[in-house]
Every structure is written in structure tokens, then in C-alpha cells.
Amino acid sequence: MQKLIRRTALVKKQAARKVVARQGKSDSDDRKLRLNQQKIINISIRNDTRAARLARHEDWLLGPLAPKRDVGAARETYGTLDARRLRGVDKPKDQIKDWGIVEGDRIVVIQDGHRERGNIGKVREVRKEAQECFVTGLNRADVAIPDYLLLNELDKTPVRPYEVPIPLSAVRLVVPLPHPETGALRDVVIKELRLKKTGYAQLSGDDPPTRFIAGVKPAIQIPYPEKAPEEFEDNEIDTLRIEVEERTFVPTLLRPPMPTGIIDELRNKYSKFRDRHDDAFIAKKMEEDRIVDERKRSIRKMDTPLKELHRKERAERKARGKPVLSEEMLAQIGEVMAKNAVQLSSASALQSATA
């Protein structure tokens, strides 16, 4: 039984090491994917910037003789963005922060140099993994739609306006709060939010945390935007609620809630990870251990006279204990050490004289 327990423990440790190694490889693959995506976006931005600078320089030098660039393949897509720049690259897990901004919130752009700085809009979508959000009506740009996406669509327009994502660090929440003196409602920009699990949310991981204004006492709670109730349409194939709520099985104490052998169908009976066994199996393994121990004891009874003599001598030496040096033995050891010291000193003196 001990052998089986040891094997199960070793198998679990090995499986845990494999999971860690697999997770490390998955993180490495995700990191390579993020770097490749970021590289593609950076190349697109760098090429557009270089082309714009070159065109501006040519327009300044040539004036009326400057070439017309919205011709040929770029006739309808000149000055548009690449569709791949509509989605940012996902951030590593250690760089993902919960800003407390959700879909439906009103926000204001505060980033210096941003073309929408100071404008207020409603959040349409939040991508927490990429730390960005889409705001309805803000930061719109013309995007060139690839040809392969237009094959199965009725609208063949190659250029369409879309909202370009804005970093969550570049926006702040805007909420209407009463004025402390007049009591009139006015829009207030929340510099920082404090998120805290309160009430039932402390026990449930699905409920969002409560939002408070950081550094303000008494605490001011910022409610989440109200969501429209979901509408469900009943169809003929749907199960009636009265049938769903009907109790068709009532367990009793006279019989088990399910057949005893069904547990072997739900899990592998012969799994090497199994650490809980039936009483019959444990008794069988204990009996096997007992038989092995009896065999070992029977082998000891078959010792030869020489082995018995050695075992008797070992027992006698163990009974006597460690030997103790007597006074006479210590005196003899001292005499030998003194004689050796005299011989060593005379040999060294002779060696120095000859040198």
C-alpha cells in the first residue's frame, strides 16, 4: 500500500511540473504573438509617417507641380488607416489594470496632444486585455477595407469610418454630481476611482466591485450605467418553465442517490492519479504487504551458522558499547608520540646541516 501511495504522489508531482512547463511555453508563445502583432502595427505606423513626411516635403518644394497621389490603386483608399490598427495588442497579465470603466460610461479624453482632448463621449466597448476602449462618435477615422472582406458583402465601399481605440489611461470618468453649495448637478471629471468588493460581491467573483471616488470622505459611490433588460423570445421547441422546475427525483436515506457502480463510469477506476480507494482494495493491498513481510521473515529463518555467528557477534559488540581508553593506554600513546617527535626533530636538523 505504501508503494501505491508513493507512486500516486510522484505521478501528481510530475503532472504538476508538466503543467507548469506547458504554461510557461504557452506564455512564451503568447509573448511572441504579441511582439509580432506589435511589430506589424509599428511598421504600418512608421511607413505611413515616412510617406506623409515625404509628401509634405515634396508639396512644399514643388508647389503647384506636386504630384497627385490619390490615383491608381490608392484612388479611393489614399489617406486611410490599415484595418489591423483598429485593434490594439493584448498586454501581458502583469500590465493589465482595472480602471473601473465599463460599457455605457461617459468619459472625457485628457491625453495631451490627442485630437479629441476635452471631448466627452459614451463608451461603446472596453477591451481590458488591450487596455483600450471604443467611444461612440470620438476618434473616428477612415479605414481601408481589404478586398477579401468585400467579397461576400452587398456594400462594396472600400472605405468606411470606424472608431479607433483610445487607451484607458488617456480617459477619465465623467459623472453628474451636485454642487456642494448650490446643489445643482454638473459634470465632474473623476481623477481616480477606488474599486472595492462589498456585500455579496465579496463572496461571488462574478459581480463587479463597487466604485468609489478615491480620496473623498464621506465615500461617494459611483453607480454603474443601467443596462436594458434582455428580451427572450419563446419558441415551440423550448421547454416550459413548469416542467423545468418540476422535481422528478427525490433522494431518500434508504437507497443511494445513484448506483454504486456509476462512479467508475464518471472517473477512471484504474487511474494512476487516484488516491481514494475502496475498502476491499485497501484490504487486498494490506494483505499483499503482509505476505511480503512474512516472506522476508521466513528468509531470515534460513540463515547459515556463519550468519548466525556474525549476528551474535554484532549483538555482543552493540551490548558492550563504544570502547573507552584506559590510563595505561593513554600513557603508551603519549610515549609513542614523544619518541616520534624526537626522531622528526633530529631528521630536520640533519637535513638543514647538509643543506
Give the per-residue pLDDT at 202: 60
**Alpha-carbon torsion, ordered 307, 308, 311, 315, to 10 deg:** -170
Q: What is the pTM assigned to this prediction?
A: 0.64
Q: Inform me whether the pLDDT recorded for 348 exceeds 80.
A: no
Average pLDDT in the chain: 85
Q: Inform me whether the pLDDT recorded for 110 exceeds 80.
A: yes
Rounded Cα–Cα distance for residues 124 and 193 (Å): 20
Residue 193 near residue 213, CB atoms below 8 Å: yes
What's the one-letter identity of residue 24?
G
Exposed / middle / buried, residue 132 (Cβ in 10 Å: 0-12, 13-18, 19+): buried
Element (H, E) at 354: helix 327-354
Q: Inform me whether the pLDDT recorded for 201 exceeds 70.
A: no
Q: Inform me whether the pLDDT recorded for 183 exceeds 90.
A: no
What's the one-letter identity of residue 315?
A
Rounded Cα–Cα distance for residues 163 and 139 (Å): 6
Give the per-residue pLDDT at 320: 83
Give the per-residue pLDDT at 53: 92
Q: Inform me whether the pLDDT recorded for 200 exceeds 70.
A: no
Whole-number percent of the chain with pLDDT over 70: 97
Q: Are strands 140-144 and 81-82 parallel, antiparallel or unpaired?
A: parallel
Which own/partner contact pairs does 149-152 have at CB distance under 8 Å and 24+ positions apart? 149/83
Give the per-residue pLDDT at 7: 85
- Predicted confidence (pLDDT) per residue in 19-52, tens digit: 888 888 888 888 888 888 888 888 888 988 898 8
- Predicted confidence (pLDDT) per residue in 306-347, tens digit: 888 888 888 988 888 887 888 888 889 888 888 888 787 777
DSSP state letters, 68-89: P-S-GGGTTTTTPEEGGGGSPP
Average pLDDT over residues 156-183: 88
According to DSSP, residue 155 is labeled: -
Q: Inform me whether the pLDDT recorded for 204 exceeds 70.
A: no
Question: If we measure between CA atoms, which residue out of 169, 33, 164 comes closest to residue 95?
Answer: 169
Rounded Cα–Cα distance for residues 182 and 184 (Å): 5
Rounded Cα–Cα distance for residues 332 and 337 (Å): 9
What band does 174 get if pLDDT is binned at 50, 70 and 90?
A: very high
Residue 133 near residue 165, CB atoms below 8 Å: yes
Phi, psi of 109 (to 5 degrees): -85, 125
DSSP E strands in the chain: the ranges are 81-82, 106-109, 120-127, 132-135, 140-144, 159-163, 166-167, 171-178, 185-190, 193-196, 210-213, 221-222
Phi, psi of 167 (to 5 degrees): -60, 140
- Predicted confidence (pLDDT) per residue in 131-162, tens digit: 999 999 898 888 888 888 888 888 888 888 88
Higher pLDDT, 258 or 16: 16
C-alpha cell at 160: 468606411
